[in-house]
């Protein structure tokens, strides 16, 4: 039970956390993977190498310590993380392992400050946090299993088709091996996909946005081939190079708190690069519904050869009041509503529903930060700007 003394003690350690920075979480992950290497079957080790996961965990710990006496302020963050955890099939017993290594990390990095009182406070705080996540994630697992076409744990799917969408993006349609229905999803959500690449020591789990509307029978993900040589993405390149029609993979039910919210207002979808994948699910869903409000689709990419779904999006103009705008960093020839250079909303601000639209962003972090700042400068309130990051979360 978390007491007021525990709360006060945890808050008093915030300066210590701030001074240590991500050294705490880097030490934590190194410690945990040394003692429990089986967890490398769950965690994305690429994010460990880039530092994105340690940074995300540090920010989460710091936020929890700050708002430990006002947990309602963390509701949206808890839901976002819980959704991501369910896509990895995180189980209650794994929280015990994480808690042990977190406490031991604090003890090892700050032996003088880590008194018995501090240990008791952080242990109680962690138990409280773990119980919150176990409850939320348990409810999500039950909800997914109870729905038509739902299931719990990983389910076997077969690749029904593999279709190039551009020079770097390929779509995979996945159908359940058991031939039964699949759970519907909110446009914008993603799938947790597990494979064991040939020659790899551990399983690889990644999250890929669903890139078309729900149909109750199959799912489609569209995957960008990431990097080359030593920087090549393990999972994306394996999917592109080795997974073919008929191959089987393991899939968790759809998850994610970023999705279209029907408020009966104009909609603006803004994407950079492969960030257009969840936007396809939104567009297809809106077209099927004959959405009555104007829809604006803004996309930026390096050049036309990397522009996925261009023809498909333009083909939806008959079903929607749809305006399409494109920015290429390099362009040989520009058509109407196409621009060269970085996306500048000033180019089309007169055509955007700045006063009442809902804006959805997805793409590289720098791109989304750039776009959000432009929207705020143009007078769009922050609560009308929704975004999704591929990988560990961070504020935009």
Please, what's the b/e burial string for 272-308 (b: 16 or more CB within 10 A of its CB; e: otherwise)? bbbbbbbbbbbbbbbbeeebebbbbbbbbbeebebbb
Predicted confidence band of residue 373 (pLDDT cuts 50, 70, 90)? very high
From 146, 180, 208, the end of a domain falls on 146
From 89, 115, 146, the end of a domain falls on 146
Give pLDDT tens digits for 71-128: 898 898 899 999 999 999 999 999 999 999 999 999 998 888 889 999 999 999 999 9
Q: What integer pLDDT is reported at residue 100 of this predicted model?
A: 95
**Binding site: which residues?**
85, 190, 206-209, 273-278, 389-392
Helices within the chain (DSSP H only): 4-12, 14-20, 23-35, 45-50, 52-66, 75-87, 92-109, 116-146, 234-242, 277-288, 310-315, 365-377
Predicted confidence band of residue 390 (pLDDT cuts 50, 70, 90)? low
- The number of distinct structural domains making up the chain is 3
Q: What integer pLDDT is reported at residue 331 of this predicted model?
A: 84
- Predicted confidence (pLDDT) at residue 396 exceeds the cutoff of 60: no
- Predicted confidence (pLDDT) at residue 47 exceeds the cutoff of 80: no
Residue 293's CATH number:
3.40.50.80
Which candidate in 137, 165, 204, 304 is catalytic? Answer: 137
Predicted confidence band of residue 5 (pLDDT cuts 50, 70, 90)? very high
Q: What integer pLDDT is reported at residue 167 of this predicted model?
A: 97
Question: Considering the entire predicted model, what is its pTM?
Answer: 0.92
Residue 70 lies in a domain: yes
> Same domain, yes or no, for 23 and 138?
yes
**Binding site for heme b: which residues?**
85
> Same domain, yes or no, for 383 and 287?
yes
Highest mean pLDDT among 111-125, 147-161, 198-212, 322-336: 147-161
Query: Is-catalytic flag, 95?
Result: yes
**Binding site for NADP(+): which residues?**
273-278
Which candidate in 29, 64, 95, 297 is catalytic? Answer: 95
Residue 338 lies in a domain: yes
- Predicted confidence (pLDDT) at residue 141 exceeds the cutoff of 90: yes
Residue pair 324/313 in contact (Cβ under 8 Å)? The answer is yes
Rounded distance, CA 221 to CA 271, Å? 16
Kind of pairing between the strands at 295-301 and 267-272: parallel
Residue 395 lies in a domain: no
Domain with 124 in it: 4-146
Give pLDDT tens digits for 319-333: 999 999 999 999 888
> Same domain, yes or no, for 10 and 52?
yes
Query: Is-catalytic flag, 152?
Result: no
> Same domain, yes or no, for 217 and 294?
no
């Amino acid at each position: 039970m978390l007491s007021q003394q525990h709360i006060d003690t945890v808050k008093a350690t915030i300066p210590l956390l701030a001074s240590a920075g991500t050294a705490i979480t880097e030490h934590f992950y190194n410690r945990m993977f040394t003692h429990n290497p089986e967890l490398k079957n769950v965690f994305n080790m690429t994010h460990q190498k880039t530092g994105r996961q340690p940074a995300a965990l540090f920010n989460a710990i710091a936020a929890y310590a700050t708002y430990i006496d006002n947990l309602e302020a963390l509701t949206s963050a808890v839901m976002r993380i819980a959704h991501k955890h369910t896509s990895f099939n995180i189980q209650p017993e794994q929280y015990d392992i994480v808690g042990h290594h977190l406490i031991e990390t604090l003890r090892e990095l700050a032996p003088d400050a880590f008194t018995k009182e501090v240990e008791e406070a952080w242990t109680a705080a962690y138990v409280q946090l773990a119980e919150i996540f176990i409850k939320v994630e348990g409810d999500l697992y039950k909800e997914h299993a109870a729905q038509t076409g739902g299931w719990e744990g990983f389910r076997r799917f077969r690749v029904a088709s593999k279709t190039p969408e551009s020079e770097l993006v390929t779509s995979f349609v996945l159908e359940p091996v058991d031939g039964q229905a699949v759970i519907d999803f909110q446009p914008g959500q993603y799938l947790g996909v597990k494979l064991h690449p040939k020659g790899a020591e551990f399983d690889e789990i990644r999250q890929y946005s669903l890139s078309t509307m729900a149909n109750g029978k199959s799912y489609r993900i569209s995957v960008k081939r990431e990097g080359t040589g030593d920087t090549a993405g393990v999972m994306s390149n394996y999917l592109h190079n080795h997974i073919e029609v008929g191959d089987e993979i393991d899939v968790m039910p759809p998850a994610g708190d970023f999705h279209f919210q029907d408020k009966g207002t104009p909609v603006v979808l803004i994407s950079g690069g492969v960030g257009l994948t969840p936007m396809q699910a939104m567009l297809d869903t809106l077209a099927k519904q004959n959405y009555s409000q104007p829809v604006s689709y803004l996309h930026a990419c390096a050049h036309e050869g990397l522009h996925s779904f261009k023809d498909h999006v333009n083909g939806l103009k008959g079903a929607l009041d749809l305006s399409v705008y494109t920015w290429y960093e390099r362009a040989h020839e520009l058509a109407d509503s196409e621009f060269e250079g970085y996306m500048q909303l000033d180019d089309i601000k007169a055509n955007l529903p700045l006063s009442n639209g809902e804006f959805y962003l997805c793409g590289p972090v720098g791109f989304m930060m750039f776009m959000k700042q432009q929207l705020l400068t143009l007078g769009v309130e922050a609560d009308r700007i929704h975004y999704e990051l591929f990988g560990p979360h961070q504020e935009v």
